[in-house]
């Protein structure tokens, strides 16, 4: 898998919360807070344009709270540092995607040969259906 482009994570706009992760891990899982909850306030961010904020809120989906805070939880790894880096990477990918303006669709017309092929296909289909019909009774 090729790495997707990432945007730098704004340092002052991100807060971290560390908590105990569930799942396997032996005694370590009950004692060490390795899971990370990263919070990024999209609506108050100074590093994003209004368009990028709107795109990020849409991209975040269920990860965005009602107040416009993006919450990313990372608990895939066994160390706090790896989970923190994982959360930052996921945020930076979302930021890069939100900053990229989507291309506007340009209306195009079908080519003459495409129109001709379409009409020929319609005629073939109509001929097939016509031939399937039974004889017409004129009585």
Q: Mind listing the pLDDT tens digit for each residue in 53-109?
A: 888 888 888 888 888 888 988 888 888 888 889 998 998 898 888 888 888 999 999
Spatial distance between the Cα atoms of 88 and 109, rounded to a whole number of angstroms? 44
Spatial distance between the Cα atoms of 88 and 21, rounded to a whole number of angstroms? 18
Look up the CATH number of domain 11-99: 3.30.160.20
3-state secondary structure of 29: helix
| pTM exceeding the 0.75 threshold for the entire prediction | no
Give me the phi and psi of 51, to 5 degrees please. Answer: -65, -45
Largest CA distance in the chain: 93
């Amino acid at each position: 898998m090729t790495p997707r482009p990432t945007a730098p994570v704004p340092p002052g706009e991100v807060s971290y919360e560390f908590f105990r992760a569930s799942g396997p891990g032996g005694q370590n899982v009950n004692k060490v807070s390795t899971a990370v909850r990263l919070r990024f306030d999209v609506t108050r961010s100074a590093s994003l344009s209004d368009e990028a904020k709107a795109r990020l809120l849409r991209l975040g989906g269920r990860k965005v709270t009602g107040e416009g805070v993006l919450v990313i939880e990372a608990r895939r790894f066994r160390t706090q540092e790896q989970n923190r880096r994982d959360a930052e990477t996921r945020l930076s990918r979302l930021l890069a995607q939100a900053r990229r303006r989507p291309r506007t669709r340009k209306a195009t017309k079908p080519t003459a040969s495409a129109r001709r092929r379409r009409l020929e296909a319609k005629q073939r289909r109509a001929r097939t259906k016509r031939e399937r019909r039974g004889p017409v009774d004129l009585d």
